[in-house]
């Protein structure tokens, strides 16, 4: 509400010197959709850049996001204010534009530079009048993503990913004309950061993130940045366990299933990328033996493939480590549960996992993200109970390195072996006193055998 009042106060001052201030972009779009959006963008027409700066300074400290772009915000306010601008393509990629501010460009020409009709609607802040030069309101009602202007659209390759991201988030359809246009756009010059940003939005804000990747595939753009996913379309699976078909289809089903658990995990975007990468290893491990399709050790082979995949998108080492760890262990929760493995085995799994809670939900998504001829109930109760046992074990006092040194064990090349014994006893629930006695007995025996 505060930003809305501030917007109106700015609009009144703009109006007093002959200009007009409009709400633009996502704020107007979402208002028509009946969805709250607290990110407000304002475009000011009909006054000079200096006049706008003076008006904004009367409301607080002004941050210049890009003076040459005519974009400002007021400190501590979630509000961006801009002047209309003209853009001319001068280079490759998303940033290869020559930008000129033009306060007198006019509303139609200003909105013509927008990416999609749903984002090209303007609203007069003072009168509430909607200005819809490109039928964006109608496209919102019909759930359509449509480009505004062919010439300017193809100049910005990021719009390929934005189209798919909006389609995924809003469950809209991309028009055939827009898909056709996107097929001929070279996205290879984009920065990894921008592709990662659009992909992350789809993974975090969509009920069905698969829509994002499926539209990229329709546009012939999936292999440009996600070639490892594209490769999964040629990998068949056992019809007994995966009636849904190839590994790509399964991955998309797992991704949509994972989206239902986002609020239950500790690292949302990391978790979603783990779901996306969990079966990448099947592309290099799948074979047919005696009429049966097998993908042995795909979780191990998938570690390096996931790293290669993610490094193309991000430099975030924590994310990459998390995903690699989850890929490595994603098969074990279900396997251990169905085998009713010992507590020590599940304790070791949770100890090795970067996040046991998230791993359980990844295994759940993997289990439910398929069509199977075998009715199997996911052992979530079993895994949750085992996780509680693990957490309780981890609170108990245990043998550490200092204890071993104090007991007379030297810090040599054999020391790590005794630390492994200590961990094994800890995960087995052996109390500290008994564990130390057993380790010392092993140590004594090995000395006597020398």
Could you tell me where the DSSP H helices lie in 91-221?
Answer: 107-112, 136-142, 150-153, 158-170, 176-183, 192-205, 210-218
The CA distance from 360 to 366, in Å, is 10
pLDDT tier, 373 (very low <50, low <70, confident <90, very high otherwise): very low
* Number of neighbours of residue 49 by Cβ within 10 angstroms: 15
pLDDT tier, 365 (very low <50, low <70, confident <90, very high otherwise): very high
Could you tell me where the DSSP H helices lie in 171-281?
Answer: 176-183, 192-205, 210-218, 222-225, 227-231, 247-259, 268-277
- Mean pLDDT to the nearest integer, 389-408: 95
- The per-residue b/e assignment along 321-355, b for 16 or more CB within 10 angstroms, e otherwise, is ebbbbbbbbbbbbbebbeeebeebbbbbbbeebbb
pLDDT tier, 94 (very low <50, low <70, confident <90, very high otherwise): very low
- Residue 203, pLDDT > 70, answer yes
Tokens 């087995």 -> residue: 428
What is the pLDDT, as a whole number, of residue 366?
A: 94
- Mean pLDDT to the nearest integer, 421-441: 95
């Amino acid at each position: 509400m505060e930003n809305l009042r501030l917007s109106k106060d700015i609009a009144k001052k703009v109006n007093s010197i002959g200009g007009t201030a409009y709400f633009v972009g996502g704020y107007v779009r979402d208002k028509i959709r009946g969805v709250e959006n607290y990110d407000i963008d304002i475009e000011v027409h009909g006054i000079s850049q200096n006049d706008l700066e003076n008006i904004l300074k009367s409301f607080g400290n002004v941050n210049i996001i890009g003076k040459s772009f005519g974009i400002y915000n007021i400190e501590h306010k979630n509000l961006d204010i801009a002047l209309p601008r003209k853009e001319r393509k001068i280079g490759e990629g998303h940033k290869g534009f020559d930008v000129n501010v033009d306060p007198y460009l006019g509303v139609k020409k200003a909105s013509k530079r927008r990416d999609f009709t749903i984002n090209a609607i303007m609203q007069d802040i003072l009168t509430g009048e909607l200005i819809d030069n490109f039928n964006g309101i109608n496209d919102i009602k019909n759930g359509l993503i449509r480009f505004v202007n062919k010439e300017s659209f193809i100049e910005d390759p990021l719009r390929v990913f934005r189209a798919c991201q909006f389609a995924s988030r809003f469950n809209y359809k991309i028009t055939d004309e827009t898909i056709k246009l996107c097929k001929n756009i070279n996205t290879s010059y984009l920065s990894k950061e921008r592709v990662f940003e659009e992909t992350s939005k789809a993974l975090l804000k969509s009920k069905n993130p698969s829509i994002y990747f499926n539209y990229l595939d329709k546009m012939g753009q999936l292999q440009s940045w996600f070639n490892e996913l594209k490769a999964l379309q040629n990998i068949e699976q056992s019809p007994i366990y995966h009636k849904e078909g190839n590994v790509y289809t399964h991955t998309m089903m797992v991704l949509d299933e994972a989206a239902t658990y986002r609020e239950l995990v500790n690292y949302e975007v990391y978790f979603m990328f783990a779901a996306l990468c969990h079966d990448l290893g099947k592309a290099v491990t799948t074979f047919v033996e005696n009429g049966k399709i097998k993908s042995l050790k795909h979780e191990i082979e998938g570690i390096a493939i996931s790293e290669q995949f993610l490094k193309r998108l991000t430099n975030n080492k924590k994310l990459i480590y998390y995903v690699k760890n989850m890929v490595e262990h994603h098969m074990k929760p279900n396997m251990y549960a169905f085998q009713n493995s010992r507590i020590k085995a599940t304790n070791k799994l949770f100890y090795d996992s970067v996040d046991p809670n998230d791993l359980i939900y990844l295994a759940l998504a993997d289990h439910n993200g398929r069509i199977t001829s075998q009715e199997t109930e996911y052992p979530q109760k079993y895994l949750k109970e085992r996780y509680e046992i693990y957490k309780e074990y981890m609170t108990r006092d245990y043998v550490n390195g200092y204890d071993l040194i104090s007991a007379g064990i030297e810090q040599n090349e054999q020391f790590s072996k005794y630390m492994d014994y200590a961990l094994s006893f800890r995960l087995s629930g052996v109390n500290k006193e008994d564990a130390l006695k057993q380790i010392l007995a092993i140590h004594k025996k090995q000395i006597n055998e020398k």
